């Protein structure tokens, strides 16, 4: 589906790149050719809305929560807002979207290429059957296509697939005052309601209908996305889908309806939609979606995206291995069992007769620099953690995986160095993953891991 967008300005920044009134002013004055006074007024108001949104979104009982997503600080006498290691999009009224992309420096700096890399990473966290058609290059050709609109399109297309197959119905318990017997006669309620009505019967009965919690939540999500989208195609599809949900009411209590969700083998297509409904309807999810009438945001933690993307690609490329994410079979203390150890990725052999070694890998979303010190900025705590993994999982080889940038301290194939323990032959190796060419990079990593 082609995503055409109603005129809206998109400011693209990277993690840890400052946003100021000047950043917004440049858009409205230089790009939009507004008068200087109007551009100044718009930039002040939008910056104010963004700052208010950050404070309103913070946990009222813990103001440190503000710094989880953004820092608000003074630099060179001007107030700036600095996104932390969360990426995604912030929409401010109907005028502007701020798109936050991962801080990766490519060989050729290109926002569109970086946006595609980010969406591929995000794709690894999704289980939508049609996701490949939504994340293809054709949907991302236009400069003003934002991440937000791609995600809305993704949800609506999956909901459209669900409608084509058919919405599921269920027996819903109801009570009503009827003029005939149906189900169970409720004597007490009948006496209260029908003391002067001999032609009515207060009954409790089950009715097979589409108005079940799962459908109500999906309809409410579609309605919300229709109001938020700036894409003609997204809005048109949302309108058509809402007509397909005519027999379904809107959810009046998200929390209650989520608690009533029933997902069995007959509910194919619902599980992934409802996981994203949790996000879009401001329930708990893998990201934060919140806001007021002026500002909404959809933000994702880069650590989780990087870990998920690497694990997914490994599982696809290492067919002869079992690639297990977040395995949790070890504890720091055995008696009592405390502090479970969960390496990001654990690689085992599919063939029990294979003599290939088992390997633990941990992903770190941090850009290594060419430093004078031998540790490249890797923390001592990280190294302690890797050593504990090797001991508790009885694995000799641990790999720390960092993203590659083109001034990183790597050689041509991404391998940095191997740190070997003289005492027990345990090793921690450092490898940089090229996200622009991840398949080649991971195949090279496999050669490194199993070359000895």
Judging by DSSP bridges, how do beta strands 96-101 and 86-92 pair with one another? Answer: antiparallel
Judged by average pLDDT, the poorest of 18-27, 184-193, 217-226, 312-321 is 184-193
For residue range 24-48, what is the model confidence (pLDDT) as tens digits? 888 888 766 778 888 888 889 889 8
Closest CA to 267 of 213, 343, 329: 213
Asked if 303 and 119 count as a contact pair (C-beta separation under 8 A), the reply is no
Asked if 419 and 387 count as a contact pair (C-beta separation under 8 A), the reply is no
Q: Report the alpha-carbon distance of residue 251 to residue 211 in Å, rounded.
A: 10
Reduced to 3 states (helix: H, G, I; strand: E, B; else coil), residue 224 is: helix
Tokens 């440049």 sit on residue: 26
Q: DSSP assignment of 45-92, as one string?
A: HHHHHHHHHHHHHS-TT-GGGHHHHEEEEEETTEEEEEE-SEEEEEEE
Q: Report the alpha-carbon distance of residue 280 to residue 148 in Å, rounded.
A: 11
Asked if 399 and 360 count as a contact pair (C-beta separation under 8 A), the reply is yes
pLDDT recorded at residue 132: 47
For residue range 123-170, what is the model confidence (pLDDT) as tens digits? 777 655 555 444 554 454 544 567 788 888 888 988 998 988 888 876
Which comes out higher in pLDDT, residue 313 or 390?
Answer: 313
pLDDT band at 283 (very low <50, low <70, confident <90, very high): very low
**Phi then psi dihedrals of residue 449, to 5 deg:** -65, -35
Mean pLDDT to the nearest integer, 52-77: 71
Coarse DSSP helix, strand, coil percentages of the chain, rounded to the nearest 5 percent: 40, 25, 35
Residue 290 has pLDDT above 80, yes or no: no
Residue 80 has pLDDT above 70, yes or no: yes
For residue range 220-260, what is the model confidence (pLDDT) as tens digits? 999 999 988 888 889 999 999 999 999 888 998 998 889 88
Give the C-alpha distances (Å, rounded to integers) separating 208 from 15, 117, 152, 171, 399: 50, 45, 31, 4, 55
Q: What is the pTM of this model?
A: 0.76
pLDDT recorded at residue 96: 80
Residue 4 has pLDDT above 70, yes or no: no
Mean pLDDT to the nearest integer, 114-119: 85
Backbone angle region of 60, left / alpha / beta, with phi > 0 → left and psi within -120 to 50 → alpha: alpha
pLDDT recorded at residue 207: 67
- Proportion of the chain above pLDDT 70, given as a percent: 77
Q: Report the alpha-carbon distance of residue 442 to residue 432 in Å, rounded.
A: 10
Residue 57 has pLDDT above 70, yes or no: no
Asked if 180 and 197 count as a contact pair (C-beta separation under 8 A), the reply is no
Residue 437 has pLDDT above 80, yes or no: yes
Which H helix or E strand runs over 359? Answer: strand 359-363
Which comes out higher in pLDDT, residue 112 or 337?
Answer: 112
pLDDT recorded at residue 219: 94
pLDDT recorded at residue 143: 47
Q: Report the alpha-carbon distance of residue 399 to residue 431 in Å, rounded.
A: 7
Return the half-sphere exposure (C-beta side, CA atoms, 13 A cut-off) of residue 111: 16
- What is the overall mean pLDDT for the chain? 78
Q: DSSP assignment of 308-343, as one string?
A: HHHHHHHHHH-TTEEEEES---EEEETTTTEEEE--
Other beta carbons within 10 angstroms of residue 32's beta carbon come to: 14
Closest CA to 90 of 237, 384, 297, 230: 297
Residues in the chain: 452
Judged by average pLDDT, the poorest of 110-119, 195-204, 272-281 is 195-204
């Amino acid at each position: 589906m082609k995503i055409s967008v109603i005129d809206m300005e998109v400011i693209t920044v990277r993690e840890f790149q400052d946003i100021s009134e000047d950043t917004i002013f440049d858009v409205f004055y230089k790009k939009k050719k507004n008068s200087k006074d109007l551009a100044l007024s718009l930039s002040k108001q939008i910056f104010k809305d963004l700052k208010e949104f950050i404070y309103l979104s913070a946990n009222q009982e813990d103001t440190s929560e503000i710094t989880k997503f953004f820092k608000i600080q003074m630099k060179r006498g001007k107030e700036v807002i600095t996104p932390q290691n969360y990426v995604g999009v912030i929409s401010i009224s109907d005028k502007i979207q701020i798109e936050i992309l991962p801080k990766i420096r490519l060989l050729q700096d290109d926002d569109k290429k970086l946006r595609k890399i980010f969406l591929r990473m995000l794709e690894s966290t999704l289980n939508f059957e049609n996701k490949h058609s939504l994340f293809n290059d054709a949907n991302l050709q236009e400069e003003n296509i934002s991440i937000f609109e791609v995600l809305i399109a993704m949800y609506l297309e999956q909901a459209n697939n669900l409608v084509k197959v058919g919405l599921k119905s269920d027996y819903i318990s109801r009570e009503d005052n009827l003029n005939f017997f149906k189900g169970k006669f409720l004597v007490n309620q009948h006496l209260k309601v029908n003391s002067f009505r001999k032609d009515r019967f207060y009954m409790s009965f089950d009715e097979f209908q589409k108005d079940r919690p799962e459908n109500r939540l999906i309809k409410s999500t579609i309605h919300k996305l229709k109001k938020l989208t700036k894409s003609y195609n997204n809005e048109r599809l949302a309108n058509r889908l809402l007509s397909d949900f005519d027999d379904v009411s809107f959810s009046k209590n998200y929390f209650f309806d989520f608690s009533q969700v029933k997902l069995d083998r007959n509910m194919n297509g619902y599980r992934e939609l409802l996981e994203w409904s949790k996000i879009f309807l401001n329930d708990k999810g893998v990201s934060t979606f919140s806001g007021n009438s002026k500002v909404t945001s959809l933000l994702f933690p880069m650590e989780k995206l990087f870990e998920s993307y690497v694990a997914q690609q490994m599982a696809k490329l290492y067919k002869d291995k079992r690639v297990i994410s977040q395995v949790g079979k070890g504890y720091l203390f055995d008696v009592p069992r405390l502090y479970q150890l969960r390496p990001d990725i654990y690689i085992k052999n599919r063939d029990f007769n294979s003599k290939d070694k088992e390997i633990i890998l941990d992903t770190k979303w941090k850009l290594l620099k060419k430093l004078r010190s031998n540790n490249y900025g890797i923390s001592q705590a990280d190294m302690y953690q890797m050593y504990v993994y090797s001991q508790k999982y009885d694995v000799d080889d641990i790999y720390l995986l960092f993203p590659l940038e083109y001034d990183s301290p790597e050689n041509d194939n991404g391998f940095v160095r191997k740190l070997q323990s003289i005492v027990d032959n345990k090793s921690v190796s450092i490898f940089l993953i090229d996200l622009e060419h991840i398949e080649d990079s991971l195949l090279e990593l496999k050669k490194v891991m199993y070359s000895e």
